[in-house]
Amino acid sequence: MFAVIKTGGKQYRVAADDTITVMHLAGEPGDNVTFDDVLMVGNGSDISVGAPSVSGASVAGEIVEQARSRKIVAFKKRRRKDSRSKRGHRQDLTVVKIKEIKAG
């Protein structure tokens, strides 16, 4: 059984016991999270597509860790102007282990 969920502006195809990395979610490692915005649920050849989401379906998961992505460096240089700037950014991420999919 699999599902397509939407969180953080992105869509993820998940199944039971999968581990996914999503944008930051509030919570500590060991906390349970529920994704209610399920776009599609499939079980073999039986597929249910929502418009926009499947009613009554949800995906339960557990937060494994709060992490950060690799550093992105934005470097801007204006030639012949003696002007340059350097900024760094690290996105906060959450690693989630999918426990079960409820089709509703």
Q: Number of structural domains, the chain? A: 1
* pLDDT above 80: residue 95: yes
For the chain, what is the mean pLDDT?
95
Nearest-angstrom CA–CA distance, 26 and 63: 9
The pTM (predicted TM-score) of the whole model is 0.84
**pLDDT score for 34:** 96
**pLDDT score for 38:** 95
* pLDDT above 80: residue 88: yes
pLDDT one-digit tens code per residue, 29-73: 999 999 999 999 999 888 989 889 999 999 999 999 999 999 999
- Determine the structural domain holding residue 84 and report its residue range: 2-102
